[in-house]
Amino acid sequence: MKKRFLPIFIAGFLSCLTLASCHSVNLYEYTENESYANHYLVSFYVDDTLYTTAQVKEGETISVTISDPSKENYSFDGWVLEDGTAFDVSTAVITSNLDVYASFSLINTGGTNPWDELVVTDTKEENKDYSLVIGWYGKTSTSGIDENIMKHWYYNVLIYLRHIGFTEDEISNISVRQYGDSETNIGPLGELVNAHGDVDILLGTGKNLTTKGNIQTVDRIENVTINGVDSRVIALLKETEIGRSLFDFLKQEPGSKMFDMSFILSDSDLGNI
């Protein structure tokens, strides 16, 4: 998140054209003999744009009203610090200058989802060097993954990749592929994956992928539950910078929650990355 340290008298004139409302600077009213140095500035940001500010006396709480911001197709969840920690406007005791950020959740509008148009059944192009290749086991009864679940998971992946600086050109060069179908066992799955030879991360297999599937792994996340199916494996097949970064993110929250169809990564989830 970008920080903009602006003089108070300029901050009050900043435009908030993308927001439903914009607020001026909330200045503290000083009493006689009160020192300006004993006050701090709390700056509230929405999508890296300054929304409003409040001056607060050291050791006290914010006395002015901070109206909830709005954002089209999103609901406001509250304010958070840069590391994702919740910030309670009414009770937080201020002891330093602070930047806080609006946290939002996506609202499903009109029965459509932002991930519906994503392609997760890509076909490999020969002699093409992909920026990232993700494969998933298409035997849903075994893996827990179907096309809709995979699209939702991939949508979360794109949020993460953009957050860490993946460019749109790199994103357009990702390949997400289904390996096998409802009849494919682990042996034939391994043959398909090994024949392509360029898969970075493979999702939804069982622990026997190295024995019966003959798929060599660099690292594995075991005992993953996907759509109610337990003991699934997420396997790192190649050691690349972006593959390792994503794989390590999947080991811990919030990355481990991305198969949950109600979960969308937010700024607060990614604040400390």
Which residues constitute the domain of residue 77?
8-106
Q: Residue 179 pairs with which residues in a beta bridge?
A: 137
Same structural domain, 45 and 156: no
- Is 123 domain-assigned? no
Domain for residue 33, yes or no?
yes
Are 216 and 87 in a shared domain?
no
In a domain, residue 111? The reply is no
Separation of alpha carbons 87 and 106, rounded Å: 20
Please give the pLDDT value at position 105. Answer: 77
- Considering the domain architecture, whether residues 143 and 95 belong to the same structural domain is answered as no
- Co-location of 99 and 174 in the same domain: no
Tokens describing residue 252: 């811990």
Q: Write out the two tokens for 216.
A: 């060599």
Q: Are residues 91 and 147 in the same domain?
A: no
Determine the 3-state secondary structure of 257 from DSSP: helix
**Predicted local confidence at residue 271, as pLDDT:** 78
Residues 160 and 96 both lie in one domain: no
The three-class DSSP label of residue 154 is helix
Quick check: is 118 in a domain? no
Residue 193 shares a structural domain with residue 158? yes
Do 190 and 257 share a structural domain?
A: yes
In a 3-state reduction of DSSP, which class is residue 52? strand
Q: Do 262 and 161 share a domain, yes or no?
A: yes
Rounded Cα distance between 214 and 190, Å, is 6
Q: Are residues 231 and 193 in the same domain?
A: yes
Number of compact structural domains in the chain: 2
Whether 167 and 204 map to the same domain: the answer is yes
Tell me which residue has tokens 């390996």.
179
Binned average pLDDT, 10 residues per bin, the chain of 273 residues: 40 42 52 66 91 94 93 84 90 95 75 87 94 97 96 96 93 97 96 97 95 95 94 97 96 92 85 75
Instruction: Specify whether 164 is located in the same domain as 100.
Output: no
CATH code: domain of residue 264: 3.40.190.10
Cβ(40)–Cβ(97) under 8 Å? yes
Query: Where a domain ends, among 89, 106, 123?
Result: 106
Question: How far from 33 is each of 30, 36, 39, 40, 259, CA to CA, in Å?
Answer: 8, 10, 13, 17, 58
**DSSP states along 105-144:** EE---TT--TTTT---S--PPTT---SEEEEEE--HHHH-
Does residue 98 lie in a domain region?
A: yes
Q: Where are the alpha helices (DSSP H) in the chain?
A: 8-11, 140-143, 147-163, 168-171, 186-196, 241-250, 267-270
Q: How far apart are CA 83 and CA 105, in angstroms?
A: 17
Last residue of a domain, one of 44, 71, 106: 106
* Nearest Cα residue to 42 out of 51, 31, 29: 51
Nearby residues of 113 by Cβ (< 8 Å), 6 or more positions away = 151, 152, 155
**Residue 114, domain member (yes or no):** no
- Domain-located, residue 112: no
Contact 155, 197 (CB under 8 A): no
For 21-58, b/e burial (b = at least 16 CB within 10 A) is ebbebbebeeeeeeeeeebbbbbbbbeebbbbbbbbee
Lookup: tokens for 218: 């660099």
For residue 28, the domain's CATH number is 2.60.40.4270
Tokens 């459509």 identify what position?
A: 112
Residue 216 lies in a domain: yes
